[in-house]
Structure 1
Amino acid sequence: MTTTPRIAIIGGGPAGLMCARILQQHGTEPTVYDADAAVNSRDPGGTLDLHADAGQIALEDAGLMDAFMALARIEGQAMTRRDHHGSVLAEYIPAEDDTAAPEIDRGQLRTLLFEHLKPGTVRWGHKLLQVTPAGDGTHHLEFANGTRVQADMVIGADGAWSKVRPLLTDAAPQYLGVCFLDVRFDDVDTRHPEIAALVGDGHMFANDNDGRAVIVQRNSNNMVRGYIAFRAKAEWHTEAGVGLADRDAVRAFLLREFSGWSATMRPLLTDNDSDYIPRSFWALPAPLTWSHLPGVTLIGDAAHLMAPFGGHGTNLALLDAAELAHAIAKEDTIDKAITRYEATMFPRSGELATSSNNALRGFFATTSPDAPHLPPDHAQEHKNYMARAAEYRRRQAEADHA
């Protein structure tokens, strides 16, 4: 870049923080704006598996692989697939040297990235109200706290309900017909040994043939977090007359909804130590592209919100961030950088979003007992991650020497 651009990154999640980190390594000083009061001001959610061919590539570029591995859980890659009676259908146990997709808590990843930025990079408590083109490629940004700034480049890293996205496309998230309730089990080995045994060291999938599932995962600090999922309208609780803050009412609903599940599996529905936090599956149309607009682009969920099957969302977000930051460093104008980045991001995210959304629909579809929809083959997935990572680095090396 021939001049030092004023870069505003909207969103202080993993994508926004990763982009800022790599930009700073290249001598550019962006500003990150986030609505949260602080990096740890809200529950960040559960755990993430960072793939060798995406999230880990970004971490390597950012010089943070050692810091990541100090927190990551190799054993967390384990997977158990059960039916709704608790019988084991499939199992994957990672080798001690398997680093294809280690797990890390979402909050740990966000904090790691934040702590490796220069002080003052992130402006907490800045909720974006609107962003307006100035007509010369720059943009005016207005925040709820009264702050107004002008930027040469706006990077929308502001997630599913991005305020930046409408500048580029009228595409909006669409409900995929599956709701889930976020649950948490504390001090699980002592207080919930039956759940600890079902989950093991990693994560467990269980589903029936009528679109119901429980997906739970070991987190750090002897905690299990996960989701009780079922096909329903987004406002199912209103129609059912269930107050989400009333744990007894939600438990009674779940026992009716999952009445065919065995006593072995029911503690996953009823013994949580948290409230039931409602979430639902939404996705942007896929594949999604847009026409170039000077001075604006999107990364992460803002660009390609997809179903969580496959765990591609955060991984792609981190890789988006790294590739955009490198493009800004290498190209002599912002627009060339955006064009370079989007030319790679569009086809990659379109393919993965389409496959992830289709996988979710299949997993929660009604199916016959003889043809259940299974999660992916983890052993093969891990081989694929490593092979794609090697191919990515080979292409990078060729481009660097071209």
Structure 2
Amino acid sequence: MRNMMRVGIVGGGPAGLTLAATLRREATKAAPFEITVLERGSAGRDQGNGWDLSKTAQEALARAGVDVPAVQRRGSDTARLFNVTDTARPDVCMRWPNSLAKLGLKKDQVLEMLNQETSRNEIIRRLIAAATHSDGGSGSVTVRHDCNVSTARRTNDGRGVEILGRNGDSYGTYDVVVDASGIASRLRHCRFSEAADAFYTGRTIVQGIVSSPEKSWHPWLTSRLGEGSMAVAGPAPSGTGIEQWMAQRYGAALEDQHTNINLWCFTEGPNDIPSLLKLEGLHGITSDKDAVKATMDYCVQRLSHEDWPEMYRDAFRAAESIRVLPVFMHPMAEVAYAHAVPDSEDLSVIGIGDALHALPPWSGTSGNYALTDATELATALLKLREGTEGTCTQEQIAAVLREQEAAFLKRADGPRERCMQVSKFAERAAKTLNIRDFSFEDSFLGTEAKDRSWSDLESVCIVGFFRVITFLNWLESYGIQPPKHEASAAARAAAEEPAAQ
């Protein structure tokens, strides 16, 4: 095998680009890398909101050459959760209180969650710049867009893996192929059969995107949203069942006021809502006026119960773009291995992130695990190159990939099991609970308080933490600031004052 290791990465999202940039930056002249990133989307497309980066994910991006604070939204590590029948104060306020900060207690010393939100578009832009930069490191990175990859196969001489397009065209032969193409991966079947494919969780996220809530929403909403997130639980149209109205900022720069507004809907099948709204085949974000109107009308109808003030419906009416996201999740690791493709153990192909172990958004770990996979795989490949003095066989590469694959799958199994429990409770709440019986604490834990025991120390500690943090925030008015801009006169006139409830 030649000294240059050829790495083909399918998927130009944060995980794939983190791997590419890290390998290029840390490779040595004795063991360089030639890296090609094949992305199915077009260059510069809007990839929507990001996520709150864990400490490990932040370290992975920094290692790849990204200035992490530059992709984070300052002040977005706050979430206020309300019951629509009592909006005088939030049921839960997840915000690190100033009182604890003054005592020298830092948030990352206590919990891993609730970090600042990020801009996915900005993360990708900076990763591409870091990956293709000419200074430092050894090797090269080429990023190609509009690449429709269909599969990969071992070459006839057994010295590499060829990536093929949908028309059978070759995208090149590589020593290592990394599948970072997400949950819709086509390369997954090189390693696992269809029996280990992702399954529909029963939830579909219906999302609107508003460029500036300050210009169209009621000031009460924008002040409670702040720079972070907010959620409001209220009754379904029939009065039985729960709807949850959610909003989240996601631009890195404070002057970027883009906000997602969501409903999480339970359906029998992943195509139920797209079919109802005549959006079959739609992928990603669209600003088509007919699609936006149909989708937002659907959301407005779901908030038709009299307990929902008009301002929540108006928030959806202000959306300029939409997307509909059926949520899928991969099965446990044991299921994947039970359906491994025969004789694929020695194939130099590995999945990372959602291509390997997709988790739903409510896990709080999906994007973070993807970046963790990427940085750990980079370390393993760099170590392999160093240990073999720059040359290694396909057998050696495959052995390292299988070891990494097992670790990645095992890590995802913990939150996966919890996600299943939480999802079952959320579905029951959405269909059968009365709003007076709903609790965000129960929603987090996946069980009702009446079904929990004091001997369940983990649940007791979680509930106690939520209540203490919320109480300390009450002493600080929950960190709520006056709205930066007044909403339009029409928006103010159309909205009902929450104080009147």
> Which band: TM-score by shorter chain?
0.7 to 0.9
Moved more, 364-373 or 79-88: 364-373
Distance 2:154 2:329 in 1: 27
* Aligned counterpart, 1:396: none
Aligned partner of 2:418 among 338, 355, 363: 355
- Residues 148-198 of structure 1 deviation map (CA, whole Å, 9 limit, x = unaligned): 411121111011111110011122121111112111122222332343124
**Which protein is richer in helix relative to its size?**
2
SS at match of 1:353: helix
Distance 1:25 1:224 in 2: 34
Does the alignment pair 1:191 with 2:227? no
Q: Structure 2 length normalisation: TM-score?
A: 0.68
* Aligned counterpart, 2:378: 325
Q: Where does 1:3-402 land on structure 2 (aligned, <5 Å)?
A: 3-27=3-27, 28-38=33-43, 40=44, 42-52=45-55, 54-64=56-66, 67-85=67-85, 87=87, 88-94=90-96, 98=107, 101-118=115-132, 121-134=142-155, 136=158, 138-144=160-166, 146-170=169-193, 171-192=196-217, 193-208=219-234, 210-220=241-251, 221-233=256-268, 234-237=270-273, 240=276, 242-243=277-278, 245-260=290-305, 261-263=307-309, 266-267=312-313, 270-287=316-333, 289-290=336-337, 292-331=345-384, 332=388, 333-366=396-429, 367=433, 369-370=436-437, 372=439, 373-375=442-444
Instruction: Please state how far the C-alpha of 1:296 moved relative to its aligned partner.
Output: 0.9
Moved more, 142-151 or 79-88: 142-151
Moved more, 316-325 or 227-236: 227-236
Q: Does structure 1 retain, via aligned residues, the 8 Å contact 2:230–2:246?
A: yes
Instruction: Please state how far the C-alpha of 1:201 moved relative to its aligned partner.
Output: 2.2
Distance 1:180 1:103 in 2: 19
Q: Which amino acid aligns with 1:255?
A: V
Q: Which amino acid aligns with 2:185?
A: S
Instruction: Please state how far the C-alpha of 1:281 moved relative to its aligned partner.
Output: 1.0
Q: Which amino acid aligns with 2:18?
A: M
Instruction: Please state how far the C-alpha of 1:34 moved relative to its aligned partner.
Output: 0.8
SS at match of 1:279: strand
Distance 2:25 2:190 in 1: 29
Q: Which amino acid aligns with 1:206?
A: V
Distance 1:343 1:313 in 2: 17
Q: Which amino acid aligns with 1:116?
A: A
Q: Which amino acid aligns with 1:230?
A: C
Instruction: Please state how far the C-alpha of 1:335 moved relative to its aligned partner.
Output: 2.2
Instruction: Please state how far the C-alpha of 1:284 moved relative to its aligned partner.
Output: 1.1
Q: Which has the larger radius of gyration?
A: 2
Q: Does structure 2 retain, via aligned residues, the 8 Å contact 1:137–1:294?
A: no
Moved more, 306-315 or 127-136: 127-136
Q: Does structure 1 retain, via aligned residues, the 8 Å contact 2:216–2:318?
A: no
Q: Unaligned 5+ residue runs, structure 2?
A: 28-32, 134-140, 236-240, 280-289, 389-395, 446-461, 467-501
What RMSD in Å do the two structures reach over aligned CA positions? 2.8
Q: Does structure 2 retain, via aligned residues, the 8 Å contact 1:211–1:231?
A: no
Distance 1:281 1:46 in 2: 16
Change (3 A) 1:90 1:268: farther
Q: Does structure 2 retain, via aligned residues, the 8 Å contact 1:195–1:268?
A: no
Q: Which amino acid aligns with 2:179?
A: G
Q: Unaligned 5+ residue runs, structure 1?
A: 382-402
Percent sequence identity is 21
Change (3 A) 1:380 1:56: farther
